[in-house]
Amino acid sequence: MIVMLGAVSCSKKNEQAPTARRQQGPLVVDGYVVRKTSISENIEVPGSLLPFEETQIRAEVGGRVVQLNIQEGANVAKGTLLLKLFDQDLQAQLKKFQVQLEIREKTQERSAELLKINGISQQDYDLSELDVENLKADIEGTKIAISKTEVRAPYAGTLGLRNVSLGSYISPTDIVTTLRQVDNLKLEFSVPEKYAKEIVKGYQITFRVDGGERDHVAKVIATENGVDQNTRTLRVRAVVNATHRELVPGVFAKVNLRLGNDDNALLVPSQAIIPAARNKQVILFKGDSAAYTVVETGIRDSAFVQVTKGLKEGDTVVTTGLMAIRPNAKIKIARLTAER
């Protein structure tokens, strides 16, 4: 029995000896050499297409429609007469003022002749001149009132659906039709506040409408003058200069943005980052030992993470065997990678 125990004991020592020798040597790991590279973050935000201009056409005054020149869906030029209201009473008043003006002007001419020979006083002449000017003002006011009975297109565009009929009575609150300028469209969307400084006038973006077949291009023309405090986003408006059957005002759009561009970014493989309770760390290969270093991260993709603080170009980061490495442990690099 004693001999057997001794044999077993010797056998266990012989089995443990090689393991002890392997633990004394450096741990073999893979490494990654940090290099500067250009990166950007691709984000997708929702947007909406809008007409470049859109106006609800209304009459300035109430009245009965006597002329209607609205063809639904038609293109109209700027200044085209769309609707005419009854104005015969105003036309009659205009003629009355014009006749009175002719008489008052003749009276003023006679008064001027009399004034030259001191036939009347200067005051009498001034009163006759005042009558003429008052009538001219009345005529001008009547012409303005007549012009308000006409509704004209404020710009060239496409008419929408007609909401009134010939002979109906309308008020200033009634919407006659809608005029839209759709040769160019506007794209409106919002971006997170951290990217607000990157969206400037002239910034080019790509987008695709819901269910669309291809990407389209738009250029930023303006941004809101501040970030919305409720949503923490910046409202942006871009113009679409191309026309396509997919581009219809009001449709939903998916806007693709390349933001956070950095030409001197330091990237490390995602598996090299060790999350800790209060920070993030990586293991550096220095000489022949492992050194834990606290880092700060930025943009992340499927394979790499941007390190914004804690590393410099040329550092070698350990990418395998991280759980088995202790601070200042001896390590050996088996395979070294220097490119993404």
What pLDDT, on a 0 to 100 scale, did the predictor assign at position 340?
A: 67
Residue pair 123/114 in contact (Cβ under 8 Å)? The answer is no
Q: In the CATH scheme, what architecture does the domain 59-86+149-175 have?
A: Beta Barrel (2.40)
Residue pair 155/78 in contact (Cβ under 8 Å)? The answer is yes
Topology adopted by domain 89-145: Helix Hairpins (1.10.287)
What pLDDT, on a 0 to 100 scale, did the predictor assign at position 194?
A: 84
**What phi and psi, each to the nearest 5 degrees, are found at residue 126?**
-60, -35
What pLDDT, on a 0 to 100 scale, did the predictor assign at position 12?
A: 45
Helix (H) or strand (E) holding 131: helix 122-147
In CATH terms, are 25-40+263-337 and 59-86+149-175 the same topology?
no
What pLDDT, on a 0 to 100 scale, did the predictor assign at position 24?
A: 59
CATH number of 43-53+181-260: 2.40.30.170
What pLDDT, on a 0 to 100 scale, did the predictor assign at position 294?
A: 94
Q: CA-CA distance, 109 to 101, in Å (whole number)?
A: 12
Sort 178 into a burial class: Cβ within 10 Å, 0-12 / 13-18 / 19+: middle
What pLDDT, on a 0 to 100 scale, did the predictor assign at position 175?
A: 96
Give me the residues of the chain with pLDDT under 50, please. 1-23
What pLDDT, on a 0 to 100 scale, did the predictor assign at position 196?
A: 86
One-letter identity of residue 106: K
Q: CA-CA distance, 249 to 188, in Å (whole number)?
A: 11
Q: CA-CA distance, 128 to 6, in Å (whole number)?
A: 144
Largest interatomic CA distance in the chain? 162
**What phi and psi, each to the nearest 5 degrees, are found at residue 135?**
-65, -40
CA angle 262, 264, 268 (to 5 degrees): 95
Question: How do 63-68 and 81-85 pair as beta strands?
Answer: antiparallel
Residue pair 274/310 in contact (Cβ under 8 Å)? The answer is no
Q: CA-CA distance, 43 to 233, in Å (whole number)?
A: 14
The first and second tokens of residue 33, run together, are: 């050499």
What pLDDT, on a 0 to 100 scale, did the predictor assign at position 1?
A: 35
- What ranges do the domains of the chain cover? 25-40+263-337, 43-53+181-260, 59-86+149-175, 89-145
Topology adopted by domain 25-40+263-337: 2.40.420
The first and second tokens of residue 163, run together, are: 């909401």
